[in-house]
Structure 1
Amino acid sequence: MIVSEIFRSLQGEGKNQGRPCTFVRLAGCNLRCAWCDTSYAREGGTEMSVIEVLDRVWLQNGKQICITGGEPLLQQEEVLELLKKFSLHGYTVEIETNGTRDFRRMQPYASICMDVKCPSSGEKSDLSLLSFITPRDCVKFVVADEDDLLYAQAVMSRCEIRGEVFISPVEGSDYRAIADYVVKENLPARFQLQLHKILGVK
């Protein structure tokens, strides 16, 4: 598999925000979001076997894992093999995905955090995948402005989402205005700033 980096930090977003976590960032992405903060992971990377990744993760210490990207499900077969190994060794795994690839084969081994792309990203997710989100999964809308909020609100109103939903402002956007909108419209979501951006860590 092609790996961009493996590192230890705090989970900055989603349902495990604030937990110590080992990140396995895979290289390659099928989208080009306007506000992407990991564009370096789109290209390059290092070829590693599943066993090599497992060994590197073991050296990091800790049982909480996040597989992210890029878009990790572009390497679906390798990810599935890695998940099975993690499961055997008692790891808890979350996969962050952009909502363009079917994740159902991963769900027996990992929770899913589906990032639904809003208009400001310049990209689109496959909203039909929301029907496969379970209560152990979550959905994230990264929003920059009111158009994004209106889009997120429309998606939430017409799609049944069984996992927890997060509204996460793009770095540098008007956090207070976005928070006020969430309150005013009583959105069925949790407002969440990206903790790793606040702390200045990966």
Structure 2
Amino acid sequence: MADSQRLPVVETFHSLQGEGHHAGRSAFFIRLAGCTVGCPWCDTKHSWPAQGHPEQPVDALADAARMAAEAGASFVVITGGEPLHHDLQPLTQTLDARCGLPLHLETSGVDPLSGRFDWITLSPKRHRPPRQELLQACHELKVVVHGPEDISFAAAMASQCEDNTERLLQPGWESSIGEALAVEHVRQHSRWRLSLQSHKWLGIR
């Protein structure tokens, strides 16, 4: 783990949130390096090793977020990799002080929660189930679907979340089976919504 005042950063960019409840909104992304979860379908495998990515001071990240806010970003997304592999308290504290935008977290939930967030998207994985505290803390449960076992897993995860947690199924990219299963489940279960990776359809980051 890096010094919490400096974090390994894969990239930062200002774009649109492509997935989930806040899809289509302007956002500033901070993608941290390091992930041991190892999802085979991951589209950011270059973010897995923490080594090889430059460590940046949290002050610099907050300044970049403030500039994005001035350019129209509605919120900051801290993603990865698996961002909770790192202590996020110094980063979120500095973002609150220097930027002031709502802070969103995208996590698999395998590590203890650190930092302060306005919105937590939990995307749990069958091969590395999340911690109970993340199931209770998340605002949005988003499960990637490739096969029938993912539907069962999604239901099991949802049963451990708060009643008001948003529940989303997201077909694996180019998974026709996952797409059919997710669409049919959402059609039959009113508590669930469909999430699509709109940024990939649009060809943006």
Residue equivalent to 1:29: 35
Tell me, yes or no, if structure 1 residue 67 matches structure 2 residue 70.
Answer: no
Residue equivalent to 2:4: none
Structure richer in helix, relative to its length: 1
| Matched residue count | 190
Map residues 3-82 of structure 1 onto 2, 5 A cutoff.
3-43=9-49, 44-60=52-68, 61=71, 62-76=73-87, 79-82=88-91
Residue equivalent to 1:159: 160
1:80-114 superposed Cα distances (whole Å, 9 cap, x missing partner):
112112222321110101110122x434x432111
C-alpha RMSD of the superposition:
1.8
Q: TM-score, normalised by structure 2?
A: 0.84
- The CA distance in 2 between the partners of 1:52 and 1:177, in whole Å, is 43
Unaligned runs of 5+ in 1: none
Q: 1:97 aligns with which of 107, 110, 119?
A: 107
Q: 1:40–1:113: structure 2 CA closer, same or farther, 3 Å change rule?
A: same
Tell me, yes or no, if structure 1 residue 128 matches structure 2 residue 132.
Answer: yes
- The CA distance in 1 between the partners of 2:198 and 2:90, in whole Å, is 30
Q: Secondary structure at the match of 2:11?
A: strand
Residue equivalent to 1:110: 118
1:35-57 superposed Cα distances (whole Å, 9 cap, x missing partner):
00110111221111111112222
Contact 1:142–1:167 (CA under 8 A) maintained in structure 2: yes
Q: 1:30–1:12: structure 2 CA closer, same or farther, 3 Å change rule?
A: same
Which aligned runs of 4 or more in structure 1 are off by greater than 4 angstroms? none
Q: 1:9–1:176: structure 2 CA closer, same or farther, 3 Å change rule?
A: same
Contact 2:145–2:181 (CA under 8 A) maintained in structure 1: no
- The CA distance in 2 between the partners of 1:34 and 1:187, in whole Å, is 30
Q: 1:7–1:160: structure 2 CA closer, same or farther, 3 Å change rule?
A: closer
- The CA distance in 2 between the partners of 1:125 and 1:7, in whole Å, is 29
Residue equivalent to 1:192: 195
Q: 1:74–1:187: structure 2 CA closer, same or farther, 3 Å change rule?
A: same
Unaligned runs of 5+ in 2: 1-6
1:63 Cα shift?
4.2
Q: Secondary structure at the match of 1:5?
A: strand
